Structure 1
Amino acid sequence: MPLSEADIEEEHRHFANVVATFRKYSSYHLAANNRRRKDLFTIPHADQILLDQLGYKEKLDEVDKAILVNEQFLNKIVVDPEIFGEAELEAEKVVPESSSHSHSHSHSHSHAHPHSSQKRYTPTEFDMDKLRSTLKQLVRDWSDEGRDERETSYGPMKDALLAHFSDIPEEQRRNFRVLIPGSGLGRLAYDVASLGFECQGNEFSHYMLLASFLILNKTERPHMHTIYPYVHSFSNLPDRASMLRAITIPDVEPTLPRGSAFSLVAGDFEELYGQESDPDEPQSGLWDAVMTCFFIDTAKNIVQYLRIIHKILAPGGVWINLGPLLWHWENNNTNDPSIELDLVEVKQLAKMVGFEIENERIIDATYTTNSRGMLGYTYRTAFWTAKKII
């Protein structure tokens, strides 16, 4: 279904605001750090002397330097945001790029002109939180530091995919199509393509899409970029190094063998895969596997999510899931609907829709945790494979 002029204009505005957030990162966070300096002058002089002896001011100076390094990296991401301006608005069908990386970004909601509202838009704390989360997501997906965390989640999913197609010779895997909605920065999709499958990631967030484009299409060697993802909070830190340590990304050279089929598509999962908007590539029965990692709880209506997954899977196709049930729209203030089920209800619903659930287990997993911090959340994630039976 074609987007209306109002929808297109809203997409332009949103994308321009995202780019503005990237470009105003350093001024925002340097100001926040400078507030700490001002706070020093509000406490008794004797207390200031003690903090001087601890080197507190020097720590603030080091944070400023780290913020400026982050700024250099983030500027690389938005140096040419017009990359998103050439795709067709309904580009569910991926057109591979002629790049050595064999990667394609097809963007359905991305005709923005990023300079149009940049000067008048002031990013909010909510905007900046998304940007900070993107930096931490880069650690999870594309650093040596994040290997254990991502493999806790991605490892069982890749093993399940290989097990499902264990009777298929490796050289024939490219004949099987795998979809990964909510693909974030693209590492799981990249790994699946590296195994030889045709793989498509789908992501809605422009923060993630911009950052993944840099990693996948503009990165020439491992450890090319340096970031300081943990300098934005002074809480729950055992020492200075746990906040000020540099992380280099990516951990691998993000290239794939020639002939690999790998793409990322921008847009809303339900809009792109829930309707037959492209007569040349109907989604029904198109996918041999759908892999959802920390994704299904992003649904406003989980019934619709599961129906779409079931519909787009080929007969005998497999749905591989891992994640918590942190319903993203619960208690929202935007009047959006939100259906929130417990785990038993989700599995019962899956059976009603037409899945046979197998290989269930609980896997303890973290998500963008500072491994050297004093605070960490562990999700008791639900893992399963489910075959389409009807």
Structure 2
Amino acid sequence: MATRGTEKEAEEEQIHFQNVITAIQQYAPYTLAGNNRRRKDIFALPRQDQALIEQLGYKRKLAEVDDAILANAAFLNQIVANPEIFENGGPSESEAEAEEEGDGFGESLSLDESRDEARLGDGEGSSAPHNHPHPHPHEHSHDHLRTHAHGSHSNSSTGQENTRRKRRPMDFDMDKVRSTLKQLVRDWSEEGKDEREASYQPIKEALLEHFSDIPMHERHNFRVLVPGAGLGRLAYDVAKLGFSCQGNEFSHYMLLTSFFILNRTQQMHQHTIYPYVHSLSNLPNRAAMLKRVQIPDVLPSDLPPGSNFSLVAGDFEEVYGRQQGGEADPDEPSAGLWDAVLTCFFIDTAKNIVNYLRIIHRILAPGGVWVNLGPLLWHFEENTTSDPSIELDLEEVKTLAAHIGFEIKNECTIDTAYVNNKESMLGYIYHAAFWTATKKL
């Protein structure tokens, strides 16, 4: 675990965390206001056009959108009902006792690891300071575009000053809340199974193939790391296979939500959300927009007896890459102790891909396996926060991996969507790179 930073950093982290809580709490008024704008727009039309719109039942549709937004808000408010368990760097005493009994997260859950913004799951309709550009000229960003700038993480004096006071949520923040709802579809619903398995199944099969000589009852001796774990489903699935698995995630939106799903859910289909009500574009019909999704599709507590499953909060490089004088930090014994690292839509979150691959190589045990699937949508390309960004093409990434000490095998391209509404008139398909790589002895 990373040590607590300076007092100033801790203050900035706390304010950022409170801004996340505020954004989730303000989802309903913020989103309802946007829907109310549509009502106002009706009255800007000529009377005869208003009459035609009325005949279509458009106002009734907007009322149904309001109801769906309120249902989403009720669910989101449960997630932040008890945020104090995170505020002091980890679960409360009662939470720790539950964890020792094998309930959900392990002891590693903490939210004071890092403040570097840019992770999985920013998306739809963002008007954030920077959206990674996509060749499609339409102004609505697709679901795997990530925003990178955050006022509370700016290195400028103005940005640092802004961290000392909470701010009103902006569309940047709401974009993350909306994206979290769609991430729930991908990771924890029956509707998301096809998309989820297109990415996760090849990774799990490669993991099982690498350890095919290990009987099921001995898999718990092998440690698997899933950086950029998002809402935790891949890490959960790996633990379900019997491996000792740890997920690592940075986003507070992801961490709060995954904690709620894994530790506060007692039955399948316990919660109902409406993830597609935030945009009325590219919809074939009203049902596609108002689609209700029940989560989770599995019982989160249904893991093998004695399972070792945990999530660690923090920046991947800070949590697993700390070194002293070129050597591994003795207080963070990660070097050589991970038998597998699984990266899914993750490596393009790097500012410095060299360091990402170096860390993965260092923490793997000799002969350990790195399984990767994803695109190269470099998160910090053209960022507005003065962060560095090294943007390699696929061949360069593979050549770099070989230089660092990986032997890449079993390469292929896998077509997959990412938090996509299957019923939308618009969708994006990634031609994702897949490989398994072993650490050279």
Matched position secondary structure for 1:340: coil
- Contact 1:101 1:254 (8 Å CA) reproduced: no
Structure-2 residue corresponding to 1:388: 439
Cα offset, 1:102, TM superposition: 4.3
CA gap 1:188/1:61 in 2 versus in 1, 3 angstroms: same
Note if 1:165 corresponds to 2:216.
no
Q: 1:323 aligns with which of 374, 395, 400?
A: 374
d(CA) in 2 for partners of 1:278 and 1:97? 26
Cα offset, 1:120, TM superposition: 5.1
Q: Which amino acid aligns with 1:52?
A: E
Structure-2 residue corresponding to 1:45: 47
Q: 1:181 aligns with which of 227, 231, 242?
A: 227
Q: Which amino acid aligns with 1:63?
A: V
Correspondence 1:330-349 to 2 at 5 A: 330-349=381-400
Structure-2 residue corresponding to 1:352: 403
CA gap 1:29/1:87 in 2 versus in 1, 3 angstroms: same
Structure-2 residue corresponding to 1:194: 240
Q: Deviations over 1:258-312 (max 9, x none)?
A: 3100000000000000015863541110100000000000000000000000000
d(CA) in 1 for partners of 2:217 and 2:330? 30
Q: Which amino acid aligns with 1:126?
A: F
Correspondence 1:1-390 to 2 at 5 A: 2-87=4-89, 97-99=99-101, 101-104=103-106, 106-109=109-112, 121-255=167-301, 256-276=303-323, 279-390=330-441
Q: Which amino acid aligns with 1:388?
A: K
d(CA) in 2 for partners of 1:101 and 1:363? 34
Cα offset, 1:328, TM superposition: 0.3
For normalisation by structure 1, the TM-score amounts to 0.94
Q: Deviations over 1:49-69 (max 9, x none)?
A: 000000000000000000000
Q: Which amino acid aligns with 1:109?
A: D
- The unaligned stretches of length 5 or more in structure 1 are none
Q: Which amino acid aligns with 2:109?
A: S
Cα offset, 1:97, TM superposition: 1.1
Cα offset, 1:86, TM superposition: 3.6
Matched position secondary structure for 1:30: helix
Q: Deviations over 1:4-50 (max 9, x none)?
A: 11111110010000000000000000000000000001010000000
- Contact 1:359 1:384 (8 Å CA) reproduced: yes
d(CA) in 2 for partners of 1:119 and 1:338? 29
Q: Which amino acid aligns with 2:399?
A: Q
Q: Deviations over 1:213-248 (max 9, x none)?
A: 010000000000010000000000000000001100
CA gap 1:96/1:68 in 2 versus in 1, 3 angstroms: closer
- The unaligned stretches of length 5 or more in structure 2 are 116-162
Give the % identical residues. 64
d(CA) in 2 for partners of 1:220 and 1:119? 37
Q: Which amino acid aligns with 1:275?
A: R
d(CA) in 1 for partners of 2:84 and 2:329? 25
Q: Count matched residues.
A: 382
Q: Deviations over 1:326-377 (max 9, x none)?
A: 0000010000000000000000000000000000000000000001110100
183-192 vs 97-106, greater mean Cα deviation:
97-106
CA gap 1:110/1:350 in 2 versus in 1, 3 angstroms: closer
118-127 vs 247-256, greater mean Cα deviation:
118-127
Q: Deviations over 1:140-167 (max 9, x none)?
A: 0000000000000000000000000000
- Contact 2:230 2:249 (8 Å CA) reproduced: yes
Q: Which amino acid aligns with 1:83?
A: I
- Contact 1:96 1:103 (8 Å CA) reproduced: no
d(CA) in 1 for partners of 2:112 and 2:21? 14
d(CA) in 2 for partners of 1:337 and 1:95? 42
For normalisation by structure 2, the TM-score amounts to 0.84
Q: Which amino acid aligns with 1:286?
A: L
Q: Deviations over 1:67-124 (max 9, x none)?
A: 00000000000000111124369xxxx9981355343251141799xxxx99952101
Cα offset, 1:386, TM superposition: 0.1
- Contact 1:178 1:290 (8 Å CA) reproduced: yes
CA gap 1:110/1:167 in 2 versus in 1, 3 angstroms: closer
Matched position secondary structure for 1:97: helix
CA gap 1:71/1:157 in 2 versus in 1, 3 angstroms: same
- Contact 2:224 2:339 (8 Å CA) reproduced: yes
Matched position secondary structure for 2:214: coil
